[in-house]
């Protein structure tokens, strides 16, 4: 619903229970902030998205193979 202009440098997604932020530059990682793990507004803590692959990534993506 935001009327702000699109930022072509990186992407972010914010909801009521957490948010996602794409890497902002070289060496940065995809990161998420789930409200349930964030530490509150006084000490917010981002988590690398890769921490959640085993728990949430479907098996078909974990075992995907590239065919050329």
Give the pTM. 0.65
How confident is the model at residue 29, as a pLDDT?
A: 92
How confident is the model at residue 16, as a pLDDT?
A: 87
How confident is the model at residue 48, as a pLDDT?
A: 93
Q: What is the mean pLDDT, run by run of 10 residues, along the chain of 68 residues? A: 66 87 89 79 80 89 82
Burial call 27-66: b when 16+ CB within 10 Å, e when fewer = eeeebbbeeeebeeeeeeeeeebeeeeeeeeeeeeeeeee
Domain boundaries defined on the chain: 12-62
């Amino acid at each position: 619903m935001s009327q702000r202009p699109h930022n072509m440098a990186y992407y972010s997604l914010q909801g009521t229970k957490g948010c996602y932020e794409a890497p902002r530059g070289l060496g940065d990682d995809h990161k998420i902030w789930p409200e349930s793990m964030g530490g509150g507004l006084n000490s917010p803590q981002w988590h690398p998205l890769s921490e959640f692959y085993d728990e949430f990534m479907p098996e078909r993506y974990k075992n995907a193979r590239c065919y050329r």
